[in-house]
Amino acid sequence: MAQAQRTTVYFDPTVRRALRLKAVETNRRVSDLVNEAVKDALAEDLADIKVLRKRAKEPSRSFETFLQELKHDGRI
């Protein structure tokens, strides 16, 4: 694993306080919590990209068309 690099991140004061409290309660460092959250977010992005690629060839319809279909079917 590559050596960790230092960076500066600016948090909303309330978020910073929550991170510090969680770090104390879980006996972890704030940097570990942030790293984990960022990795989770990146993994979620990758999963979303895979789903979007699978659905890229699906037919699409406009919002207006969808509303017209709902009205035609008596749903709105």
11-65 pLDDT per residue, tens: 999 999 999 999 999 999 999 999 999 999 999 999 999 999 999 988 889 999 9
| Residue 67 maps to a domain | yes
Tell me: pLDDT of 1 over 80: no
User: Measured on CA atoms in the order 43, 8, 11, 21, is the torsion positive or negative?
Assistant: positive
Question: 40 is in which domain, residue-wise?
Answer: 13-72
Choice between 2 and 36, residue whose per-residue pLDDT is larger: 36
**pLDDT reported for residue 18:** 98
| Residue 62 maps to a domain | yes
| Residue 8 maps to a domain | no
Nearest to 35, CA basis, from 72, 61, 58, 1: 1
| Residue 31 maps to a domain | yes
What's the domain count of the chain?
A: 1
| Residue 44 maps to a domain | yes
**pLDDT reported for residue 2:** 86
| Residue 49 maps to a domain | yes
